[in-house]
Amino acid sequence: MFNNVRLALKLGFYGGIIALFISVIGMVETFDQRNIINGVVSIGLGVLLINVLVIGYQTAARIGKGLVQPGENGKQTARARAIVIGNGSLAGAVVSSWLALLVLVESQINLRSVLINVSPELISLLTFGLETGAGALLLLFLGTLFGGLGAFTFSLPSRVRRPLVAGLMWLAFWGLLSGVIRTTLSEIGIPSVVAKLFVKIEGLTPLGAVIIFLLAIAINLGNQRWREPLIERITLLPPTRQRYFRFGTWALGIILLLALPWIVGRVTSDTLVLVGIYILMGFGLNIVVGKAGLLDLGYVAFFAVGAYSTAILTSADEISAIQISFWAALPIIVIITGIAGLLVGAPVLRMRGDYLAIVTLGFGEIARFIALSDWFKPWLGGAQGVINIPSVALGNFLIVGPQKLYYLILAFALFALFISRRLDKSRVGRAWEAMREDEDVAETMGVNTIYYKLLAFAMGAMIASLGGAVFAVKLSAIFPHSFNVEVSITALSLLIIGGIGSLPGVVVGAFALVGIPELLREFSEYRLLLYGAVLIIMMIVRPEGLVPSTRRARELHEDEAAQDDWLKSETERNIITPAEL
Amino acid sequence: MPLLETTQLTKDFGGLRAINSLGLHIDQGEIVSLIGPNGAGKTTFFNLITGLYPQNTGDIIFDGHNLKGMPPSSITKLGIARTFQTVRLFNNMTVLENVMVAQHSRTKSGVFGAILQTASFREEEEMIREKAKEVLSFFGSKLTGYRFDQPASMLSYANRRRLEIARAMATEAKLLLLDEPTAGMNPRETQDLAELIGKMRDEKGFTILFIEHDMRVVKGVSERVIVLDYGQLIAEGNYEHISQNDRVLEAYLGKKAENA
C-alpha cells in the first residue's frame, strides 16, 4: 500500500518535472499554434495530456503487475482496479500540481525576467483562461482525471486495451502529421471542400479524428482476430498458391514504394528524399558501427567527400575545371570516397572504443574545416561552397524535383540494402562480427583485422558518398556548414534508436529522427532537445532499439535469457511497440 | 626437424622477465604438456607463439618459418591455433558461426563474391558449413543438432570449453595450443576431454601442446612434459622422469629447510 503510493508520487514527480520543463522552455506555447483536433486539443496541450496519460498508465502498469493473479474472483479484481486507478489519479494530480504551482508562483513573482518563455499566453493556456485560483484548481482536477484515465486504460482487459491504446497513438501521430494527410488528400484528387471536412490547415477536424481513431481500432482488432488464422491458412495452401501470395505482397509493396511520392505530394517527397539520404547513411554506418564495431563519430566526412566530389566533377561553376555527367562521375565519386575511408581508417587502426570515437570525431570536423579553408578555396570554394550543380539526366529524362529525385535515392538505398544483406551472411560478414565480439580472438582465429577494419571504413564511406551525391544534386549547391557534426550524430542516433545492426531499424530510425521533425516545422527549434530525450528514454526502456537485430537483443538481455515466458510476455505488455502505432 | 622450435626466446614486461632465453622444441605428432607454478610464463609463452605479444629477443621457428613480427592471423594461417585460459568465444554468434569464422584463413571469398553470390562463393559457403558441422561432431552429440544455432553464450561451461577447442581445430592447424583445457571441469568431464586430446592426435593428426594443472591428465595424456619456472625451462621428459626431478619439486613445493 505504502509502496504503491510512493511509486505514484515518484512517477508523478518525474512527470511533473517534464511537464514543467516543456512548459517553461516554450514548447507548449509554440505547439499551441496547431491542433491535434481542431477546437478540442492543440498540440501543445496534447503533449501535456499525453504526458499525464502515460504517467497514469505507467503507474498502473508498475503497481498492477503483481496485483491480480489469474483465477481470482471478481471482488478482488475490482479492488485491484480501484487501487490501480486511485494511484494513477494520484500520479496525475502530482504531475498537474507542478503546473498549478507554476501558475500560482507566476501570479506572485514575475518569472519572465529569468524564464522568458513563461509568458501570459502560456499562463492563460494552462489556466484555460480562468482566474489564477480557479485555473490552478481546474488544472489539478484535469490532471487527476487524466491520470486516472491512463490507469483505467491499463486496467482494461488486453483485448480492449490494445485497440484503445493503438487508437490513441494513431490519433496523436496523425494529429501531429495532419499536414501530410492534407496534401495527400489533395494529391489523390479529393476536392478541397470534401477534404476540409476531415482536415484543415490547423489540424484534424473532430470528424477526421474520429475516423482515424476508429480506423486504428478496426485495424488492431482485425489484426488480433484474423492475422493468425490467415497466416495459418496461407501455409496450408499448396506451394504454388503460396507463391502467388508472396508475389502479391511483394508486388503491393513495390507499387506502394513507387507510387509514394505522387501520393504524398511534393513537400512530403522532399522530406522523403532527405529521409532516404539518412537511410542510406544509416546502412553505411551500420557496416562500420553495427557490423565491424568501430565507433565512428565523424561519418559526415565521407558524406561531405561524396557531395564535394559530385559538385566538383559535375558543376558548371567556374571553380571546377571538369564538367562530366552525373553517371560518369558516380564511379569516380565512390572511389574517391572509398580512398578517403582508407585514409581515415589507416591512422586509427590500432585504436579501440572511446579513442576511436574521439579521433573520428576530429576527422569529421577536419573535413569541414578543409572545405571552409582559404587554402583550398580555389578548388573547394571556401565558405561560398560550390554552386550550379546540374540535375541528373537519365537519357533525355531529367531527374528534377523531389518527386523524381525520390527514385534516385530509392534506387541507391535499395542497392545499399542489397549489399548489406548479402554481406551479412558471408565470410566477410562473419569476420566483421567476430572482430566486433573480440578483436584479439578474431585475429588469432585467422581474421586479418587490419584488412577488415579498412574494408569496413571503405565500404561505409562508399555508401555515404552515394548519399552525399544525392544531397549535392538535391540542393544544386553545397556549403561547408551543411556538413557539421550534427549529421554524424543524427546518423548514429538513428542507428541506435532503430537498433544497431538491424537494417529495418535504420529505416524506422530515419523516419523517426529525420522524417517526423522535418514534417513538423514547430519541432525544429527543439530538435536536439528531443533527440537527447528520445535517446535517454530509449537507452533506459529499450536499449536494443525499436526493431532490434536478434543478436543485439541477445547481448543486452543476456541474463534475462533464461527467465521464463511469463516475464517475457509481461515485458511485452508494458512496452508499447511501434507495431501498435 | 621439429615442428616448433624456440631459441633464446625472451620477453620482458617492464622490469619483469616473463620468459627467459627459453629454448624448446615440439616434434610433429607429439602430445606435450607444459606445466609450472603460477606466473611461470606458460600463457605468456602461448601469447608469444601466437603473435599476440612481440618477443624481445630470440626466434620462434614453426614449420620452417620464422614467426618474428608476423601478425597473429598469418601465424594462424601457417598452422598454429589456440584456446584461451578464460574461455573467449564469440558469445553472440551461434555455435556453428563460431566454428565457421575459424575457417577464415582456409577460405578466400571476398566482398564481390558475397554480393554477386557467385557459384564459387556458394560452394565455399556450403563447404565451410559442412566442415564446421564435421568438426563439431567430433565432440559426439554435445555440440550438434539444435545446438548449431544456439548462441555460444547459452552453452554450459564445459561445452564452451569444447566449442573453443572445436574452433581451434577448425582452423586446420598443425599445432594446437590448449591453455588449461580442463580448468573448471568436473572429474568425469576432465576424463572425457583427456581421452579426446589423445583422439585429436590419433585420428585428426594434430600436434598438441597444452598447459595443464591436473597432474592426472598430464600423466595420462602427455608423452612429454615441459616444466617452466620464472620463464625458464627447468626440466623436460616423461612424467615419471620429471616427477622425480628435484628442481621441479622445488618449484612446486619450495626448497627443503636444510637447503634454504
Locate CATH 3.40.50.300 in chain B. Answer: 1-79+173-260
Q: How far apart are CA B245 and CA B235, in angstroms?
A: 8
Helix (H) or strand (E) holding A18, with range, is helix A2-24
pLDDT digits (tens, 9 = 90+) for A36-60: 888 888 888 888 999 999 999 999 8
CA distance A40 to A205: 9
For residue A99, is pLDDT > 80? yes
Predicted pLDDT of residue B256:
63
pLDDT at A556: 63
Contacting B residues, span 39-68, partner chain A, CB-CB under 8 Å: 50-52
Over residues A530-551, mean pLDDT: 83
Q: How far is B150 from chain A (nearest CA, A)?
A: 11
| Chains A–B, number of C-beta pairs less than 8 Å apart | 107
Written as nine digits, the cell of A379 is 578548388
- According to DSSP, residue B104 is labeled G
Per-residue pLDDT band for B4 (boundaries 50, 70, 90) equals: very high
Average pLDDT over residues A336-360: 89
Residue of A nearest to B98 (CA): A434
Percent of chain A with pLDDT over 70: 92
Query: In chain B, what residues touch A549 (CB-CB under 8 Å)?
Result: none
3-class secondary-structure state, position A267? helix
Q: How many CB atoms are closer than 10 A to CB B134?
A: 12
Give residue A508's Cα distance to chain centre.
6
Name the residue facing B104 among A446, A551, A552 (closest C-beta): A446
Amino acid at B101: V
The mean of the pLDDT values for chain A is 86
- Pairing state between β A397-399 and B232-237: unpaired
Cell numbers for A81: 482496479
Q: Which SS3 state, helix, strand or coil, does residue B6 take? A: strand
What SS3 state is found at B25? Answer: strand
Cβ contact B172:B162 at 8 Å: no
pLDDT at A434 over 70: yes
Strand A203-204 with A392-394, pairing: unpaired
Q: To the nearest 5 percent, what fractions of chain A are helix, strand and coil?
A: 80, 5, 20
pLDDT digits (tens, 9 = 90+) for B19-43: 999 999 999 999 999 999 988 999 9
Please give the backbone phi and psi of residue A318, each rounded to the nearest 5 degrees, phi first.
Answer: -70, -20
Q: Is B77 on the interface with A (CB under 8 A)?
A: yes
Give the tens place of pLDDT for each residue, A297-310.
Answer: 999 999 999 999 99
| Residue of chain B whose Cα is closest to the Cα of A554 | B92
Q: Which residue has the cell 615440439?
A: B26
Is-contact A512 A302, C-beta < 8 A? no
- Radius of gyration of chain B from its Cα atoms, rounded to whole angstroms: 19
**Closest by Cα among A461, A451, A449, A505 to A288:** A461
Q: By the 8 A CB rule, do B174 and B79 touch?
A: yes
**Nearest residue of A to residue B168, measured between CA atoms:** A445
What are the residues whose beta carbons fall under 8 Å from the beta carbon of B74, sequence distance 6 or more?
A448, B51
Give the C-alpha separation, A394 to A408, whole Å: 10
Q: What is the pLDDT of residues A241-263, one digit of tens each?
A: 888 888 888 999 999 999 999 88
- 8 A C-beta contact, residue A49 and residue A18: no
pLDDT one-digit tens code per residue, B153-163: 889 999 999 99
Note the pLDDT of residue A566.
Answer: 38
C-alpha cell at B26: 615440439
Give chain A positions within 8 Å (CB) of B82.
Answer: 444
- Tell me which H or E stretch contains A502: none
The mean pLDDT value for A109-138 works out to: 87
Parallel, antiparallel or unpaired: strands B57-62 and B175-179:
unpaired
Q: Read off the pLDDT of residues A268-290 as tens digits, 9 standing for 90 and up.
A: 899 999 999 999 999 999 999 99
Mean pLDDT of A408-429: 94
Instruction: Please answer yes or no on whether B101 and A442 come within 8 Å at the CB atom.
Output: yes
**Enclosing H/E stretch for B212:** none
**Partners of residue A552 in chain B, C-beta under 8 Å:** 92
Question: Please, what is the Cα angle at A433 between A427 and A439, to 5 degrees?
Answer: 110
Residue A172 C-alpha cell reads as 496523436
B178 touches chain A (CB under 8 A): no
| CA-closest candidate to residue B34, choices B222, B193, B205 | B222
Angle, in degrees to the nearest 10, between helices B187-204 and B157-170: 10
pLDDT band with cut points at 50, 70 and 90 for residue A543? confident
Where does chain B have alpha helices with state H?
42-49, 72-78, 95-101, 111-116, 119-137, 157-170, 187-204, 215-221, 239-244, 246-253
Distance from CA of A548 to the nearest CA of B (A): 14
The pLDDT of residue A532 is above 50: yes
> Facing residues of A478 across strands?
A386
Higher pLDDT, A543 or B196: B196
Q: Which of A419, A423, A447 sits opposite B73 (nearest CB)?
A: A447
Mean pLDDT of chain B: 91
Fill in the DSSP letter of residue B185. -
DSSP state, residue A386: B
Q: Phi/psi at B83 (nearest 5 deg)? A: -115, 170
Q: Which domains does chain A have, with CATH numbers?
A: 1-155 (no CATH), 253-574 (1.10.3470)
Strands B4-13 and B57-62: antiparallel
Cβ contacts of B88 on chain A, cutoff 8 Å: 438, 440-441
**Cβ neighbours of A459 in B, within 8 Å:** 111
End-to-end CA separation in angstroms for chain A: 34
Q: Contact at 8 Å (CB) between A303 and A467?
A: yes
Tell which CATH classification among 3.40.640.10, 3.40.1350.10, 3.40.50.300, 3.50.50.60 matches the domain B1-79+173-260.
Answer: 3.40.50.300
* B51 in Cβ contact with B72 (< 8 Å): yes
Instruction: Using CB atoms within 10 Å of the CB of residue B259, give its burial: 0 to 12 exposed, 13 to 18 middle, 19+ buried.
Output: exposed
What pLDDT is attached to residue A577? 40
Name, in order, each residue with C-beta under 8 angstroms of B179's C-beta and a sequence gap of 6 or more: B42, B43, B46, B82, B83, B84, B85, B210, B211
pLDDT range class, residue A1, cuts 50, 70, 90: low
Q: Which residue of B has its CA nearest to A440?
A: B52
The CA distance from B109 to B107, in Å, is: 6
Residues sharing a CB contact under 8 Å with residue A318, sequence separation 6 or more, in sequence order:
none
Q: Distance (Å, rounded) from C-alpha A51 to C-alpha A309?
A: 47
* A75 in contact with B, Cβ within 8 Å: no
Q: Is the pLDDT reported for residue A12 higher than 70? A: yes
Residue A496 makes CB contacts below 8 A (sequence gap 6+) with A509, A535, A538, A539, A545
Asked if A390 is an interface residue toward chain B (Cβ–Cβ < 8 A), one would say: no
For chain A, positions 407-436, list CB contacts with chain B under 8 A: 418-419, 422-423, 426-431, 433-434
CA-to-CA distance for A364 and A357, rounded, in angstroms? Answer: 11
Residue of chain B whose Cα is closest to the Cα of A552: B92
- Helix intervals (H) in A286-401: 300-314, 326-345, 353-372, 377-380
pLDDT for B23 equals 93
Which candidate in B90, B123, B129, B156 is best for mutational testing of the A interface (most A CBs within 10 A)? Answer: B90
A447 shares contact with chain B (CB less than 8 Å): yes
- Contact across the interface for B167 and A445, Cβ inside 8 Å: yes
CA distance A356 to A436: 14
pLDDT score, position A71: 53
Q: Render pLDDT for B132-142 as a digit per residue (tens, 0 to 9).
A: 999 999 988 88
Strand order in the sheet with A41-42: A41-42, A35-37, A203-204, A199-200
- CA–CA distance, B93 with A555 (Å, rounded to integer): 10
Q: Does B77 sit within 8 Å of A444, measured CB to CB? A: no
Do the Cβ atoms of A554 and B114 come within 8 Å? no
Of residues A430, A450, A554, nearest to B100 (C-beta): A430
* Percent of chain A residues topping a pLDDT of 90: 45
- What's the confidence (pLDDT) of residue B260? 44
The verdict on a CB contact (< 8 Å) between A440 and B90 is no
pLDDT value, residue A567: 42
- Residue A72 has a pLDDT of 57
DSSP calls for B119-146: HHHHHHHHHHHHHHHHHHHTTTTTTSGG
Contacts of B91 (CB under 8 A, 6+ apart): A437, A555, A558, B151, B152, B153
Contacts of A441 in chain B (CB under 8 A): 84, 88-90
Place of cell 544483406: A421
Q: Which of B55, B83, B85 is nearest to B70 (CA)?
A: B55
C-alpha Rg value of chain A to the nearest Å: 27
Q: Which helix (H) or strand (E) holds A321?
A: none
Amino acid at site B201:
R
Contact at CB, B110 and A431, closer than 8 angstroms: no
Residues of A in contact with B50 (CB under 8 A): 444
Residue B72: its chain A contacts at CB < 8 A?
440, 443-444
Mean pLDDT on B168-188: 93
CB–CB of A440 and B128 under 8 A?
A: no
Q: Which member of B77, B90, B111 has the closest CB to residue A446?
A: B77
Query: And the C-alpha cell for A422?
Result: 548479402
State the DSSP string of A89-139: HHHHHHHHHHHHHHHHHHHHS-GGGT-TT--HHHHHHHTTTS-HHHHHHHH
Q: A555 contacts in B (CB within 8 Å)?
A: 91-92
Q: Give the angle subtended at the CA of A338 by the CAs of A333 and A343, to the nearest 5°.
A: 125
Task: State whether B153 and A443 contact (CB < 8 Å).
Answer: no
Does A19 contact B at CB distance below 8 Å?
no
Class of residue A374 by CB neighbours under 10 A (exposed 0-12, middle 13-18, buried 19+): exposed
Amino acid identity at A446: G
Segment B72-93, tens digit of pLDDT: 999 999 999 999 999 999 999 9
Question: Does residue A109 sit at the B interface (CB-CB below 8 Å)?
Answer: no
Q: In what order do the strands lie in the sheet with B57-62?
A: B16-26, B4-13, B57-62, B65-66
Q: Do A444 and B91 touch (CB under 8 A)?
A: no
Helix (H) or strand (E) holding A383, with range, is none
Is a pLDDT exceeding 50 seen at residue A576?
A: no
User: What pLDDT does residue A229 have?
Assistant: 85
The minimal CB distance from B72 to the residues A429, A438, A444 is found for: A444
CA distance A123 to A136: 10
**Contact residues on chain B for A429, CB-CB shorter than 8 A:** 114
B90 neighbourhood in chain A, CB within 8 Å:
433-434, 437-438, 441-442
Q: What is the number of alpha carbons within 13 Å of residue A93 lying toward its C-beta?
A: 13
Region B179-184: what's the mean pLDDT? 91
